[in-house]
Structure 1
């Protein structure tokens, strides 16, 4: 089975449609910068002023002004107000890092000015700055993401590379909307047909042009003709070394940006490190995190959260059990054999949402499978009971899996636990998703659940396995709440 990259966010536009849309591009919304600066000033200044006033500090106004200026200054020095970065991230960790720097700066200022407000009060007064800045980042991120789904506030990209490599890059970029690039032209290197529909702006020969400005002149002409903001190069046997360097010289002399696609897919930038070896630019790819302190934190969070969750949700469990038993004959819980980490089988617990003989009826419904891969999914599965539809819509049927999490068979976050018959048909790529514990939620749940194709599900699981971190788990859990409320793909 050949796996191709399938996007997290599917879009209904071809590469050619993306080019047409890109003709109406605009810059990022002008309110991003003033909103960010205002949020930082108010988020730090107002709480400090109120707390210091309540503490009867001698100069609350000056302290508030100092905190506001310090917070905005830290953000400015960290280049958070740069146009290239505004709206690009909703991550919490960078803001926390900046906030810790602010604490250090103000601690020094406290010693110098002999300010005597209680330390805990001063620290508490600075917490709102953290929350307000994170909220502002999330607001601009969502606005920018919505704009990019309409091909606005993006960079016009000219792709240069051998036809197959260029087609791969174009396909990846045209299919997703969670990035700022729209391909408006392509410069193939060597012979070969281009089937993407993107205009061929120029074509370079298979070997370096005999004249110094042959290749670079063609690329510069293509940039000018299509008003490109960035040239994205996919290196290959026909485009590398001196040839690529000369094109880079020409682009940089003209004040244009150059980016190089290294051929890696779905590798987090946190795992990448640029090095220099003997004059060569080397890209080091760190191995995925598999243990250490982050692994311990994940295990502790799983066990503690599962235990607390079972205790707090026990009344809801009792009500659900009664509703299931009254709604249809059979047990309230459904146990099923699933495959866990390293291929070890385990029994997974769920609330029963189907009739008792659902597994026996599955073979009769195989022709109605709406999933394009190894999973069986039907939007209107006749085996699902009335209360079962409600449980699936709200994802409450998954709650008994907290028992599996507490037992160590599953995690709060991870790939979907597969069935044995699915694993029996896995190839080498699909088996890699079994290198971590399966989860109650994961990238698959916050990205569409049952609406996803098989390839999309596999790509999301591999993305999780290769780029896992403790903070990414926390982020997924936060986004799961919204996915559950939305209910998209839950059936």
Structure 2
């Protein structure tokens, strides 16, 4: 039974089934929206043309974004986020064509919106259903993909644990070849026979980087096998960040530490900052004016506090805050963190810091493009110099723009970092955010900030 189910999923993969689902969703959504809007299911020819164009856009964009690639290890949230992005772009393209073709009076904008909404619900629902059905089938031992593992024992154990921790991905071990040293000809010949007998669909070569020459020998040995071959290197004691495979200068590269803000991700992040940041800036303008007047009345000195911080890729920029302390001078190169009961903090400043209202001017930094709404909080330059040699991978926080709020802040890691352990935990959360960035994660952090990120007992 397992073999038959596996054959079914191999003969009808996502690359074939899902485009058909999307096509049906767009057509059916357009027809239903037309019937709801015009009370008839007999489509005018111009709406047939519109549905055809929308379908082509949806299929093309999904293909370009890799939405039809194998789903075995893709989370449902990722699939839906990718689909929503495609549908938003499709809607923008469709409305732009209608506008520039001067055909706005011949098409119902309500029909465009409702048809896109219905088709998204159907396409997204089908994705969720397919993933759940496949996951349940794999958990019951069906639709599984057999794997033959090759490598040192300790590495194979780690890989096997990962497979057991992700049963929904549907991998099963068909055989194991343990290597205690560089394999000789006899070992390689035995490996080839065992892989053939096991009928494994894939061979995973699991060796540390120092055994790189072994990969070539094994790969050459398996040249007559039909099984797919994967190289799973071991990176012990290495903190990886947004690691992936890429192609540079005509060569394949394993990216160990790279920024996620490249290509479309960079565009999405900037659009998020412009739209959300612009809206928030308009809403908080009366509050900012009131705070500015209150600061001027209650203490002498400027309204804004300006200080250089480190931004994306190590570039320095000037960050803005409402002044919350009495005007004072510090020794060159030193920055003293505010502590509980700090006499430098004004009464109004204590309230501003406790409620994070002192951070509001940083939305101007966001509109400038020097900060993001969500990202690692920028630290003082002196703190960066101090902690970069004490906390592993500390400077990797600067691979993305700093943010007004972040994953560390909504998890309670705000305020004074008076111990090394506190800074380590903050950096750990910052790096997790960078390694797992998505638009949905940003929206989740913004949502959490509204309810629990503004006030904190550690902010003083």
Pairwise TM-score range, normalised by the shorter structure: 0.5 to 0.7
Matches within 5 A, 1:338-487: 339-341=309-311, 342=314, 344=316, 346-349=318-321, 359=337, 361=339, 391=355, 398-406=359-367, 409-425=370-386, 426-427=388-389, 429-442=393-406, 453-454=425-426, 456-457=428-429, 459-460=431-432, 463=435, 472=438, 474-484=439-449, 487=452
Partner of 2:179: 190
Higher relative CO (Cα under 8 Å, sequence separation at least 6) belongs to: 1
Shift of 1:423: 0.9
CA contact (8 A) 2:319 2:362 kept: no
Partner of 1:90: 79
Structure 1 runs not aligned, ≥5 long: 1-27, 106-115, 192-204, 365-383
Partner of 1:207: 183
Task: Tell me the SS of whatever aligns to 2:79.
Answer: coil
Shift of 1:214: 0.8
Shift of 1:438: 1.1
Shift of 1:241: 1.9
Matches within 5 A, 1:45-194: 45-46=28-29, 48-51=31-34, 54-55=37-38, 59-60=42-43, 80=68, 84=72, 87=76, 89-93=78-82, 97=86, 118=107, 120=109, 123-129=112-118, 131-133=120-122, 135-136=124-125, 159-162=149-152, 173=162, 180=169, 187=176, 189-191=178-180
By percentage of residues, which structure has more helix? 2
Matches within 5 A, 1:292-307: 302=273, 305-307=276-278
Distance 1:181 1:485 in 2: 39
Shift of 1:481: 3.6
Q: 2:217 aligns with which of 226, 242, 246?
A: 242
Work out whether 1:312 is the aligned partner of 2:283: yes
Structure 2 runs not aligned, ≥5 long: 1-8, 95-104, 326-335, 343-348, 415-421
Could you say if the C-alpha distance between residues 134 and 402 of structure 1 is closer, same or farther in structure 2, counting changes exceeding 3 Å?
A: farther
Distance 1:175 1:363 in 2: 51
Shift of 1:138: 8.4
Distance 1:38 1:292 in 2: 28
Shift of 1:268: 6.1
Please report the RMSD computed on the Cα atoms of aligned residues, expressed in angstroms: 6.5
Distance 1:186 1:453 in 2: 40
CA contact (8 A) 1:339 1:420 kept: yes
How many residues in Structure 1 have an aligned counterpart in Structure 2? 381
Could you say if the C-alpha distance between residues 132 and 350 of structure 1 is closer, same or farther in structure 2, counting changes exceeding 3 Å?
A: farther
Report the more deviating stretch, 159-168 or 285-294. 285-294
Query: What TM-score, normalized by structure 1, do the two folds share?
Result: 0.51
Distance 1:81 1:299 in 2: 27
CA contact (8 A) 1:351 1:400 kept: no
Could you say if the C-alpha distance between residues 417 and 39 of structure 1 is closer, same or farther in structure 2, counting changes exceeding 3 Å?
A: same
Work out whether 1:283 is the aligned partner of 2:283: no
1:14-70 CA-partner distances (Å, limit 9, x unpaired): xxxxxxxxxxxxxx9xxxx99999897567525533435644778149979x969x9
Distance 1:304 1:273 in 2: 33
